[in-house]
Chain A
Amino acid sequence: DIQMTQSPSSLSASVGDRVTITCRSSQVISNYLAWYQQKPGKVPQLLIYAASTLQSGVPSRFSGSGSGTDFTLTISSLQPEDVATYYCQKYDNAPLTFGGGTKVEI
């Protein structure tokens, strides 16, 4: 099975900072990569799909890039409401594996 590896597992940054999270798959998954945001005690919310397409309603400070095996989620200017754990997930075919998550703090 394809493994999804996220890094870092946690980070602390200041308001206004540019934040980058990386997700690497063990095999090529084309662009079938999604990013989710999960705030404490809440249901995960879809941020980005197809590696770089912003879900409707998601602030433009979030962006995604990559294809093949290496993907990146970028928050261009970190805001207090972005405190959350972020997960990548492959969705080309089963198993739809998640990355281990990246906890973002301020």
Chain B
Amino acid sequence: QVQLVQSGAEVKKPGASVKVSCKASGYTFASYGISWVRQAPGQGLEWMGWISANNGNTHYAQNFQDRVTLTTDTSTSTAYIDLRSLRSDDTAVYYCVRKPMAKVPDYWGQGTLVTVSS
């Protein structure tokens, strides 16, 4: 069965960087993309970006273009999100989501809480 398993919770100081991983199983990793979505405490869902696991093409939300890098490692079927220059308002649960081309995002990871605090 399709599974996306994310890395554990992180606590970071303002100005630091964080890298969250998302290990996929149960499907051909390179045949799909991965979207990243975050949710601040008590807030809605915010789409951050998408990467093709096939060729590494990316699309970033305008709000994150200068601070986020999405990568994949097809040898381990793992996607990564790297968020730099962390601020307190980056405190959120970060989700990876499988995204087929031209189809609906379907499977979600369990989420990773990133807390930014001095």
Q: Number of A residues whose C-beta is below 8 Å from B?
A: 23
- How many angstroms from the CA of A99 to the CA of B46 in the assembled complex? 9
Residues of B within 8 A of A49 (CB): 103-104
Which residues in A have their C-beta under 8 angstroms from that of B50?
94, 96
Contacting B at CB under 8 A, from A27-75, are: 32, 34, 36, 38, 43-44, 46, 49-50
Tell whether, in the assembled complex, residue B45 and residue A95 are in contact, meaning their CB atoms are under 8 Å apart. no
Interface of A is mostly: loop
Distance in angstroms between the alpha carbons of A94 and B47 in the assembled complex: 9
Set of chain B residues within 8 Å of A85, measured between Cβ atoms: 44
Residues of chain B with a CB closer than 8 A to A94's CB:
49-50, 59, 61
Residue A89 lies at the interface, judged by CB distance under 8 Å to chain B:
yes
Task: Please state if A50 and B61 are interface contacts (CB–CB under 8 Å).
Answer: no
Q: If A43-B95, A96-B35 touch, does A91 touch B104 (CB 8 Å cutoff)?
A: yes
Mark B residues whose CB is within 8 Å of A.
35, 37, 44-47, 49-50, 59, 61-62, 95, 99, 102-106, 108-111
Listed in ascending order, the chain A residues whose CB lies under 8 Å from chain B are: 1, 32, 34, 36, 38, 43-44, 46, 49-50, 85, 87, 89, 91-92, 94-101
